[in-house]
Amino acid sequence: MAEKATKTTTDRPRLMLLDGHSLAYRAFYALPVENFSTATGQPTNAIYGFTSMLSNTLRDEQPTHLAVAFDVSRKTWRFDEYPEYKATRSKTPDEFRSQVGLIGELLDAMRVSRFAVDGYEADDVIATLATQAEALGYEVLIVTGDRDAFQLVSDHVTVLYPTKGVSELTRFTPEKVEEKYGLTPRQYPDFAALRGDPSDNLPGIPGVGEKTAAKWITQFGSFAELCERVDEVKGKAGENLRAHLEAVKLNRRLTEMVKDVPLDAGPEGLARPAYDREKVGGVLDALEFRNPNFRERLFAADPGAEEEAAEVAEGVAVDGVMLAEGELPGWLAERAGEPLGLASVDTWSLGGGGVSQVALASAEGAAWFDPSQVGEADEQAFTAWLADADRPKVLHNAKNVARVFAEHGWRLAGVSMDTALAAYLIKPGRRSFALDVLSVEYLGRELAPADGGSGQLAFGEEDDGEAAAAEALMVQARTVLDLGDVFAQRLPEVGAAELLHDVELPVSALLARMERAGIAADRAHLEGLEQQFAAAVQHAVAEAHAAVGHEFNLGSPKQLQEVLFGELGLPKTKKTKTGYTTDADALAWLAAQTDHELPVIMLRHREQAKLRVTVEGLVKTIAADGRIHTTFSQTVAATGRLSSTDPNLQNVPVRTDEGRAIRRGFVVGEGFESLLTADYSQIELRVMAHLSEDEGLIAAFTSGEDLHTTVGSHVFSVERDAVDAEMRRKIKAMSYGLAYGLSAFGLSQQLAIEAAEARALMETYFERFGGVRDYLHRVVEEARITGYTETLLGRRRYLPDLTSDNRQRREMAERMALNAPIQGSAADIVKIAMLRVDEALTREKLASRMLLQVHDEIVLEVAPGEREQVEELVRREMAGAYPLRAPLDVSVGWGRDWESAAH
């Protein structure tokens, strides 16, 4: 078992040196590239793996000094001396090459020193810095996947060598090198020269392996001594040594690391400064690394974290009171004209919940009460204040509060500020909208009472625990109020004040009602599907065992590899560090390449297993009222789209028979007549036509003919009836690809065609639709000047990397600039449509109600006798949501369940 690297304590400066290319390459093969990419197709697996390894190593080793070395190219002094050096290495994958520069950008944001010197390899730079640092009394740690670095190991230099992807490092000390090879670190390059290195195209000696090489070095003491006494080596091995001696001497010269590379900085200049946290956050946002644990690990290693934390105020003192029965009406009356911050302690689960504590805060004071302990007058005063639209209220995540307050019969109106939504509009895509994070960032103070408790509260003889809880909640209410003041100033600066008040806040209130309503579920139908999918999984397992002739674990990649490529001898798929890949794409490829039934069975097994898990999750979320109450979020997608969780209804398949069967489990509820679904036809492409003002594309929409066929006839220069299914498929992918900012590489991957063909397809498209080309060029150039893109409603997305010197980062930002206005405008239009439909239902005094918004589809529950009126209302309000040049087209369907209501 590998010996894991663990931190050792020392008072000396500690320099950590990383071989950037070596580690990034290992990360690239350790993580499947198909699972790590941005929405625009930029691969990120090497970046993610490298950064994760770096975060963990910084945490464990806590270096005081840090540098990363990269190779410039394969043409170094070793190539000059031996042109065949590394000649057998395969071409660097394009998916990897594009990530190296992005790693450099992240390191720059972290203010990590990095080196890349023409004519030298990264290990030469590392050897130079390690030698200099050791001479200065530093402790040195070298993180690399190149075993040649073992020659640098000493009592003060340790190599951390990845032994499992980049997640496990083995600590090579002098003792560990001797244990592993029976040699001292100083003897290692002699041993390596005799052994040869196929990865570097350094030939070994026929018939001489590692054991013989190590025996010779041990026997003769060094390579130089072996050369002097080469005639003493007997047998066939000796003959081969003498025959290849000159080649081995060349190996020895090439294996020796250079220790005097001219560098711009020495060890003293590599002290770790604080991150540029804003830039680091921007890079992570651009790479779409939103995993909070991943980010926390990286930021926890920031040398400036403690300093930054020290500058943050410990908390805020509040002049608060725990209200007794009968005191709430007077407290509210004294603050009749003031906006109040509101915070509560509540619970919500499966469509129900309650409130146990409420705190209110003004600029001058705060109050707390327990709703279960107040009198009738208090209840009436609080209910009236909550429902008064003229009494401004500031909340954090107002939707969640409105949803659970309604359980007490309290209606929330007059929300003038939601600090979570405001933070989202000011900086969409940020890593956290938590109140404590925003308090530190915008107010410069912790979300806590000053000095752990101000002692200013009029608590009388109250219980200490209850008093502490009350003070903490009042601090939250005051923090929300103060943040509201800050955001009220910031929102106009980013052009988002109207977007908050006219769109996001009303949508928040609507979503709260939708979440409370939920959608009725046919439990028996869903449980039957769960059993059906479970049986299908077991059937697939039995089929797989029968196809192979013995049992094996279908969930074990290792066992599946052994069966597919060992026993069955099927064609090899893409090689990874853990063997040949068996992901869905690989299995589909195998199914096309061979007649064996196992790949097809495995695909079916995985599909049925995923469906079983989906349905099982749905059944578990059916509440006591027989309905499923999903939770919507407005702050997840930077483009403004809504997301759904607990359960995630966007995970329900739409286009498969199984998915349609699942949708039949969502039914009309008691007291209602039917479900009605409505969505827009090709809204992203209509937005693109509107923004680009391309007359040809607008005409294609207004012709009434099939859009993709009409566009295909223009692009391929054929009559409409000559546009076949394959042409239409390419045009559809092309059109939506442009709306999503897809690159030629991304399009080629999607269509399974060569990048050159995808590029030619795009160029032909632009020749026919020049307005689209001009718009896409214009939007990027304008964003380069302003620093952001805007939707039709003014929703901004800031893209500082548009002016980056790094090509990969710049191109990624350019794709986002293409994507954000189109996707964001579509999301804004859907939200306006939801509000218009809801307002019309109220205005026309209809009992029908909105239940869901999933993938731009709106689902309503229609009351008896209202179907025709609701359908007309929905078509009218949705079509009029925004005046596009390519008019909005609405599709509507209705039925007793979600599937039968499809259109």
With bands split at pLDDT 50, 70 and 90, how would you rate the model's confidence at 547? very high
Q: Which of 97-106, 397-406, 532-541 has the lowest mean pLDDT?
A: 97-106
Clarify whether residues 169 and 55 are in a common domain.
yes
For residues 468 and 524, state if they share a domain: no
Cα dihedral 271, 272, 274, 278 sign: positive
Mean pLDDT of the region 358-367: 95
CA dist., res. 504 & res. 465, Å (int):
37
What integer pLDDT is reported at residue 819 of this predicted model? 85
**Number of C-alpha atoms within 13 angstroms, CB side, residue 236?**
3
Q: Is residue 469 situated within a structural domain?
A: yes
Lowest model confidence (mean pLDDT) among 14-23, 82-91, 216-225:
82-91
Q: What is the DSSP string of 51-105?
A: HHHHHHHHHHH--SEEEEE----S-SHHHHH-TTTTTTSPPPPHHHHHHHHHHHH
Residue 166: band (very low, low, confident or very high) from pLDDT cuts 50, 70, 90: low
Predicted pLDDT at 669: 97
DSSP code per residue over 266-330: -GGGGB-----HHHHHHHHHHTT---HHHHHHHHHT-TTHHHHHHHSB--B---EEEPPTT-HHH
Share of the chain above pLDDT 70, in %: 90
The residue with tokens 């170094």 is 76
Residue 90: predicted pLDDT: 56
The residue type of 755 is A
Residue type for position 448: A
Task: Please determine, for residue 510, whether its predicted confidence score (pLDDT) is greater than 60.
Answer: yes
Minimum mean pLDDT among 207-221, 258-272, 656-670, 776-790: which range?
207-221
Q: What is the pLDDT of residue 5?
A: 46
Nearest to 828 by CA among 714, 725, 684: 684
3-state secondary structure 25-62: HHHHHHCCHHHCECCCCCECHHHHHHHHHHHHHHHHHC
Q: What is the pLDDT of residue 456?
A: 46
Contact present, 720 and 710 (Cβ < 8 Å): yes
- The pair phi, psi for residue 343, each rounded to 5°, is -140, 150
HEC profile of 516-570 = HHCEEECHHHHHHHHHHHHHHHHHHHHHHHHHHCCCCCCCCHHHHHHHHHHHCCC
Q: What is the pLDDT of residue 7?
A: 45
Cα angle 607-653-725, degrees, rounded to a multiple of 5: 95
Token pair in block for residue 296 = 């926390």
Mean pLDDT of the chain: 87
With bands split at pLDDT 50, 70 and 90, how would you rate the model's confidence at 59?
Answer: confident
320 pLDDT above the threshold of 80: yes
In contact, 185 and 149? CB cutoff 8 Å: no
The beta-carbon contacts of 405-410 under 8 Å, at least 24 apart in sequence, are 405/344, 405/346, 405/355, 406/512, 406/513, 406/516, 407/352, 407/353, 407/354, 407/355, 408/354, 408/355, 408/371, 409/383, 410/382, 410/383, 410/386
What whole-number distance in Å separates Cα of residue 517 and Cα of residue 397? Answer: 19
Reported as a single tens digit per residue, the pLDDT across 824-860 is 999 999 999 999 999 999 999 999 999 999 988 999 9
Last residue of some domain: 628, 646, 673? Answer: 628
Q: Domain containing 573 — which CATH number?
A: 1.20.1060.10
Is the model more confident about 883 or about 278?
Answer: 883
- The winner for highest mean pLDDT among 83-97, 147-161, 511-525, 599-613 is 511-525
Q: Give the span between the Cα atoms of 735 and 719, in whole angstroms.
A: 19
Q: Copy the structure tokens of residue 675.
A: 């479900």
The 3-state DSSP class for residue 229 equals coil
Out of 825, 854, 882, a domain closes at 825
Residue 667 has pLDDT above 50, yes or no: yes
Instruction: Kindly state whether residues 30 and 135 are assigned to the same domain.
Output: yes
How far, in Å, CA of 874 to CA of 860, rounded?
10
Residue 643 lies in a domain: no
Number of H helices, E strands in the chain: 36, 25
Q: What is the pLDDT of residues 418-477, one digit of tens each?
A: 999 999 999 887 778 999 999 998 999 999 887 655 444 544 445 677 899 999 999 999
Of 230-239, 345-354, 726-735, the one with minimum mean pLDDT is: 230-239
Same domain, 414 and 383: yes
CA 204, 205, 207, 209 torsion-angle sign: negative
Are 506 and 526 members of one domain? no
Pseudo-torsion of CA 148, 152, 156, 158, nearest 10°? 0
- Higher confidence at residue 151 or residue 391? 391
Rounded CA-CA distance 681/624 in Å is 36
* Residue type at 612 in one-letter notation: R
Q: Which residues pair with 95 in a beta bridge?
A: none
Provide the 8-state DSSP code for 372: G
- Whether 201 shows a pLDDT value over 60: the answer reads no
579 in the same domain as 459: no
Inter-residue contact 123 to 148 (CB < 8 Å): yes
Please give the Cα distance from 77 to 83 (Å, whole number): 10
Q: Please report, for the domain that includes residue 274, its CATH number.
A: 3.40.50.1010
> 3 pLDDT exceeds 50?
no
In this predicted structure, which of 143-147, 686-690, 785-789 has the lowest mean pLDDT? Answer: 785-789
Domain-located, residue 207: no
CA distance 111 to 28: 23
DSSP, residue by residue, 120-187: S-HHHHHHHHHHHHHHTT-EEEEE-S-GGGGGG--SSEEEEEEEETTTEEEEE-HHHHHHHHSS-GGG
Q: Cα-flanking dihedrals φ and ψ of residue 668, to 5°?
A: -70, 140
Asked if the structure places residue 470 within a domain, the reply is yes
**Confidence tier at 895 by pLDDT (50, 70, 90):** very high
178 pLDDT band, cuts 50/70/90, is confident
Check pLDDT > 70 for residue 202.
no
Instruction: Establish if 832 belongs to a structural domain.
Output: no
427 and 574, same domain (yes or no): no
Tokens of 746: 């991304």
Per-residue model confidence as pLDDT tens digits over 119-147: 888 889 999 999 999 999 999 999 998 88
**pLDDT of res. 167:** 61
| Whole-number Å distance between alpha carbons of 171 and 150 | 11
Tokens 């997608």 appear where?
A: 637
Q: By C-alpha distance, which of 369, 408, 407, 414 is closest to 387?
A: 414
Averaged pLDDT for residues 362-371? 95
For residues 725 and 709, what is the distance between their CA atoms, to the nearest angstrom? 9
| CATH number of the domain to which 819 belongs | 1.10.150.20
Structural domains counted in the chain: 4
366 plus 444 within the same structural domain: yes
Domain residues for 726?
684-825
Residue 71: the pLDDT is: 85
**37-51, 75-89, 105-119, 648-662: which has the minimum mean pLDDT?**
75-89
Q: In what order do the strands lie in the sheet with 674-680?
A: 849-854, 857-862, 674-680, 890-895
Residue 367's domain is classified under what CATH number? 3.30.420.10
Instruction: Give pTM, 2 decimals.
Output: 0.69
CB proximity list for 276: less than 8 A, separation 6 or greater? 109, 110, 111
In a domain, 428, yes or no: yes
Amino acid identity for residue 589 in this structure: W
Are residue 789 and residue 776 in the same domain, yes or no? yes
Q: Are residues 542 and 506 in the same domain?
A: no
Task: Give the closest residue to 631 by CA, choosing from 721, 516, 801, 543.
Answer: 516
Which amino acid is residue 631, in one-letter code?
Answer: T
Q: Tell me, what amino acid is at 566? A: G
Identify whether 245 is part of a domain: no
CB 64 within 8 A of CB 176: no
pLDDT-derived band at 292 (thresholds 50, 70, 90) equals low
Three-class secondary structure of residue 628 per DSSP: strand
- Assess if residue 394 is contained within a domain: yes
State residue 592's pLDDT score.
Answer: 87
Same domain? 326 vs 350: yes
d(CA 195, CA 213): 6
Of 527, 521, 525, 516, the C-alpha closest to 629 is: 516
- Burial label, 572 (beta-carbon count in 10 A; 0-12, 13-18, 19+): middle
**In the listed set 472, 492, 518, which residue is the last one of a domain according to the structure?**
518
- 397 and 373 share one domain: yes
